[in-house]
Structure 1
């Protein structure tokens, strides 16, 4: 179709055009569509295939022309994109005439259609020298001590207990019900029924278990504690609280032999087989943490190699997602930016940088994956769906159907698989040096990781 295209804006990654589509051509396309309809439309009073086009035009002309206009706009936009070699960040933003009289003239075929289309394009990305990337990869071997300690923990968690008379001692298991309050008011998450606690296990707030020593069955005590400053629920951190605690039962720990019989009670062939399984699991945990660390360093290096402006709308979308998550969490925890040692303005600036970094790295990873033909197979996505379904016992079929019918949800599973495959490729290109570290070093979280 002939069209007139005038560039209105070319600023950074934004483009805007005024497009004029001739009325005569739109009308000709509509007439051709009506001619096609002649053989298909059934109208009382006319034999099949004998309905005059003029009559069809009176009945369906406006709706057919509206369809033709929609198709012509899409074709015109595609032509602009193809001729300029654009890759779009978002779908074209089309602004059609709003004046009712002008719209009617176009629909009635009396006037040309003039509209504007706004495009936001992806930047041209020049991939840097990937072989120049040098990375230290922290590695940690599994020690016999780690294995022994883990087996001991598993044994402790499976230690038998039996009912006892009299007062609770350190090591005893006390089943309690409790109601917690701060400044005389009960707080959310501060109560529980029939909760077992092993005295001396340090599984409760510091000071809580010690105050239960000497308690007897059916006795009620007031336990006063202070939540740690670094408590995970920020709205409780550092607060003094009191708990009305009632002991339901007192149980003494039984003997536990860590041997083949114990391993068999857990469904394993022998104690040696149990230790091998524990060693394998710890090794997987170390490997995953090592991978996280080296991936973070790889992304930092990629970010250093590629600095370019990102599409504003993509950055805004990413920022909004981050910001809504952060503010929602702060509202839940009843914390302010002042509590975090910052201001809303400074926090916005920080998260804006993080959003742009994420978008930039996403574009770089996508470009590297495309240039090197890195793809995610349908089998890999299917395995991810099966793994996801397993996380919802009893609802596997519903989860499977959800992903089968929801392309966007399926894409959300495909994306991280693609990213990991590109990361694998990049780690092969980079110079990676394995550096032995301690457990503390491997699992320490640095400031950059906290920010990310």
Structure 2
């Protein structure tokens, strides 16, 4: 196939590829000869169907396959000889749209080439790795939060009115049209007011009740209630209040530790310290990563594929618009034009993305099957009861696999860079780390 360059401006490339009618016909005949031994046709023994008859019967379909293979082969050879990689799928179209059998085939191919990435001396990269220790104050604060989440209730002084957040113990009987209904009665039921665990409007009417008081609660079952025979019906619940209790934080002791699966309070404190330091380490890594990326961004400069920058700027603008307009869930909104700020951020992302990909390739960074499986499992947890369907979806969706693979690859490249760079550890307070994390959103 004859290839002629038509465009070479910056990273933009254009070529015409011409396949003569004879070359195409030769390819068709080669494919027919290859298939001939397996062809059966009425009136002929297997493998003995004449080529002219095969061409008449299958030539048009085989010609399309031969044409596609010729174009694909020419493109592969072109990229191998040029040593180039396209930034996106090349645009390919027929030049002679009125083509008919017997004509030469002329195809136009255009694309943007990925730029040559300059070598980077990673030893020039400097970044800080912040270290935060989980001290007694941090562990005690976490313990207090655990105690609050594991709250108990204690009886209020007799005669005290129930408040929102209190727990009331009640006997109740529910009636619809004056008749008690199945599942509408209970004894010694502990109900936390404000928990929204009962029918809408039920708990609010119990605020202010006292021990030994009888209260008739009037509510309407929702139209979409799970029991069809009650859906939309008005109901009355006769409630007898047997206890009013106020919430109190659980005692910080071995009993609290056992509630959270620890053998003792000291063991729980150790677990909390380990968890806190793991959280601090994750936050510190994010800060270090930003420092590394900022350094790299200042060390390299190369031409960027315009289409990649444009696509990234549009995505940034679209995402930020939806964050500012959370009520609009779909895409039925005015066209969103990227600003200069969006374009500048897009250029940084594209530049660093291409650089990290190049560094990872040169360092032979690989994402293992085990790492991919772990990533899929973590995502699948977001769809309880549908894990299997999610796994099957990922297996059939290359784009989804790439979305899961990309952050793993990037993190491993950052690890590689950190191993070559000059990283200094600096012990700081929790507050200092939090301030540095807040800066990441700027």
Instruction: Give the TM-score category using the shorter length.
Output: 0.7 to 0.9
Counterparts of 1:327 and 1:141, CA distance in 2: 39
Conservation of the 8 A alpha-carbon contact between 2:96 and 2:105: no
- C-alpha distance 368-152 of structure 1, shift in aligned 2 (>3 A): same
Q: How does 1:87-126 map to 2 (within 5 A)?
A: 87-97=85-95, 99-100=97-98, 103-104=99-100, 108=101, 110-126=102-118
Conservation of the 8 A alpha-carbon contact between 1:127 and 1:364: no
Conservation of the 8 A alpha-carbon contact between 2:130 and 2:426: yes
Q: CA deviation at 1:432?
A: 1.5
Q: CA deviation at 1:254?
A: 4.6
- C-alpha distance 28-150 of structure 1, shift in aligned 2 (>3 A): same
Q: Alignment length, in residue pairs? A: 374
- C-alpha distance 173-121 of structure 1, shift in aligned 2 (>3 A): farther
Describe the superposition over 1:197-247 as per-residue Cα deviations: whole angstroms up to 9, x where unpaired. 9xxxxxxxxxxxxxx9xx614899xxxxxxxxxxxxxxxxxxxxxxxxxxx
Which stretches in structure 2 are left out of the alignment for 5+ residues?
Answer: 170-191, 197-203, 210-214, 218-240, 329-335
Q: Which position in structure 2 is the counterpart of 1:304?
A: 298
Counterparts of 1:131 and 1:174, CA distance in 2: 66
- C-alpha distance 163-417 of structure 1, shift in aligned 2 (>3 A): same
Counterparts of 1:114 and 1:369, CA distance in 2: 38
Max radius of gyration: which structure? Answer: 2
- C-alpha distance 194-327 of structure 1, shift in aligned 2 (>3 A): farther
| 2:422 is the alignment partner of 1:423 | no
Q: CA deviation at 1:361?
A: 0.8
| 2:25 is the alignment partner of 1:34 | no
Q: Which position in structure 2 is the counterpart of 1:179?
A: none
Local SS of the residue matching 2:326: helix
1:61 to 55, 59, 62: 59
Q: CA deviation at 1:442?
A: 0.7
Q: CA deviation at 1:391?
A: 3.6
Describe the superposition over 1:242-278 as per-residue Cα deviations: whole angstroms up to 9, x where unpaired. xxxxxx9963135742111221133221111111111
Cα RMSD for the two superposed structures: 2.9
Counterparts of 1:194 and 1:88, CA distance in 2: 62
Q: CA deviation at 1:129?
A: 1.6
Counterparts of 1:419 and 1:174, CA distance in 2: 53
| 2:287 is the alignment partner of 1:289 | no
Q: How does 1:208-219 map to 2 (within 5 A)?
A: 216-217=208-209
Q: CA deviation at 1:172?
A: 5.0
Counterparts of 1:172 and 1:268, CA distance in 2: 29
Local SS of the residue matching 1:418: helix
1:401 to 392, 404, 408: 392
- C-alpha distance 12-219 of structure 1, shift in aligned 2 (>3 A): farther
Q: CA deviation at 1:398?
A: 2.0
Q: CA deviation at 1:161?
A: 1.7
Conservation of the 8 A alpha-carbon contact between 1:89 and 1:120: yes
Q: Which position in structure 2 is the counterpart of 1:223?
A: none
Describe the superposition over 1:36-90 as per-residue Cα deviations: whole angstroms up to 9, x where unpaired. 2322222222222222211121121121111111110111111221111112211
1:159 to 132, 151, 158: 151
Q: Which position in structure 2 is the counterpart of 1:82?
A: 80
Local SS of the residue matching 2:151: coil
Q: Which position in structure 2 is the counterpart of 1:379?
A: 370
Local SS of the residue matching 1:195: coil
Which stretches in structure 1 are left out of the alignment for 5+ residues?
Answer: 176-192, 198-211, 221-247, 335-343
Conservation of the 8 A alpha-carbon contact between 1:173 and 1:196: no
- C-alpha distance 252-194 of structure 1, shift in aligned 2 (>3 A): closer
Q: Which position in structure 2 is the counterpart of 1:187?
A: none
Q: Which position in structure 1 is the counterpart of 2:380?
A: 389
Q: Which position in structure 2 is the counterpart of 1:183?
A: none
- C-alpha distance 99-413 of structure 1, shift in aligned 2 (>3 A): closer
Q: CA deviation at 1:144?
A: 0.5
- C-alpha distance 43-81 of structure 1, shift in aligned 2 (>3 A): same
Local SS of the residue matching 1:7: strand
Counterparts of 1:194 and 1:138, CA distance in 2: 44
